[in-house]
Each structure stands twice: as structure tokens, then as C-alpha cells.
A = this chain, B = another copy of it.
């Protein structure tokens, strides 16, 4: 597709400056379809608390459980309703180059401001294949590359990133390998976002990251905003650590989904293969909330411990 819609686009430079991007949760109705009312409310909470961008359908948002038409619709919906208030970054990556190409075309056509691209997980490929894959989509608009070997089974090594950085659409890297890697990129002038909430404070203030693409900010957007904008604050960072550790005891977004349900801001509906954390973890969460202060978390209902029976698990969604 060729389009004039470029006029609506954010520049790559605009994307590079973002400090707080939330990998936003996708909430569901009891039959497993999107609960757009809850979604819109979550996005508004992000805007109100200072998030500058959202990843739509990331691993946190369970893009891997969406059909592409659902996924593109959600991107288009977010742009249409909130695109003037927050940057909309569509996770249009895929381990299939074909799917990545089609989804990225469609995502930019419906107005997303940038694309997030993962390397081909599971199927994997050679380093040369990685470059071909990313170059197939980099022509289309501002792009963040996402490196998370613990999910993909394959690291994107710095030489590949450096090659890709010659493309003007390359905004930077969401890097989960750690702060040494981030430091290296900073020294090369390559923009990074920490993909690990527990490392993001140091990444930002010590290792040169532009900011964070955060899961925890779904819950405490204002505090993560402070962490990214208000200068070094090891005390706040420490205060958040119990929540962050709790969030990642099982693969994300299991913890986040459980938490948002208990905060009353999303229905307790899980698309399989995700299932809620067990009761003892759910009790722990309530304690963590009480220590952090309920007012620091999203929503205005009392936090509560849900019973097993409160949750709906859906396999045909």
C-alpha cells in the first residue's frame, strides 16, 4: 500500500523521546471478546497519569492470542479515540515475515504512530535472516525493535541492531537483556527502553536508556512516571520492588491480569493459556497494595481477593 497518510504520522524523533510507554493490558468480556469499555478506561488512566505511549497488543496485551483483524482493529480504535493524547505503538511484529509485513502496513494505514517488531521467535533464523526480516518492515514507519531472548529463544546481537540503526525509521530498542547491553547502545547513540521494570530506574538514570516500556505502569502509572521523570529516586524504586517481583513470579501477564481483576478495573476473564495466580499469591497482592497505598494504583474500587470461582477461563475466544 502506498498512502498519503504520512501526514498524520509521528516522526521517528518524536518516538525516541518517549520516557514512559505502557505495554497495556487487553481486557475481555466473559465470552473472551475485547471489553472495549474497560480498555478505554485503562487507556484514560494511562493518559491521566502521564504515560506518553502505549504498546497495543504486545506480549502483555496478549497480541499473541489475537487474530490479526482483532489486533488491527484495536490499534485503529486506540488511534481513533486517543491518538491525539498518547502515542499508539502497534505490536505488529510476528515470527512470520508475511504476517509482520501485512500487519505493519495495516497498522500504519489505520494511523499507528510506530511499530514494535520482535525477531522471529520459535521458528528463529540466521543473523542474515534477521536483517532481511526487519528490513522488510522498517521501510514503513517509525519502528522499535524488541529483544527478549527469554521468550524468543534467540538474542538479537548488537551488530544486527547497528546494521538496522542505519535506517531512518529505526527509533530504538526495547531491550530485556540487561543494563550492560543498554549501556553499550547508549555509548553508540542508539536509543533504548528497558523492558524490565526491575531494572528501569537504573537503566534510565545510570545506563542511558531513554525510558521504559513498562508492565508495572498498568498498575502504578503515576509512580512509574515519577521514576522516569523526577531524577534518581532509589527510595521510590525500592518501594516498587515488591510489586514488581510479585508481578513476574509467573510469565507476564499472568500477574498483571490477576492484579487488574482484583483492583476491579478489568473483569476476571482469562484467555487460555493464561490462568490466574493461585490464592496465596492473590492474598499477597492485596497486602502489597495496602503497603503501597491503594491510591497509588489504578481504579477506585476496594482491592479484594478473588475466589477461584470468580475467574472465567476461555479457550474459544
Contacts and interface: CB of A to CB of B under 8 A. Distances in A.
A38 B38 CA distance: 37
A96 B5 contact: no
Contact of A132 (B39, B273, B277): B273
Interface of A: 1-5, 7-8, 29, 32-41, 59, 62, 64-65, 68-69, 72-74, 76-77, 79-81, 83, 95-98, 101-102, 106, 109-111, 118, 120-126, 128-130, 132-133, 136, 149-154, 250-251, 254, 271-275, 277-278, 313, 315-317
Contact of A1 (B7, B29, B111): B29
A39 B254 CA distance: 40
A272 B132 contact: yes
A315 to B, nearest CB: 5
A125 to B, nearest CB: 4
A133 B273 contact: yes
Given A95-B273, A128-B278, 12 more contacts: A2-B36, A2-B37, A76-B76, A76-B79, A80-B111, A97-B272, A97-B273, A97-B315, A122-B122, A123-B151, A126-B251, A133-B273
A125 B73 contact: no
> Which of A79, A80, A102 has the most chain B CB atoms inside 10 A of its CB?
A80
Contacts of A68: 69
27 contacts: A3-B77, A36-B109, A59-B122, A59-B123, A64-B95, A65-B96, A69-B106, A72-B72, A73-B109, A74-B109, A76-B80, A97-B271, A98-B272, A98-B317, A122-B151, A125-B250, A125-B273, A126-B251, A126-B274, A126-B277, A128-B275, A128-B278, A129-B254, A132-B275, A133-B273, A136-B272, A149-B153
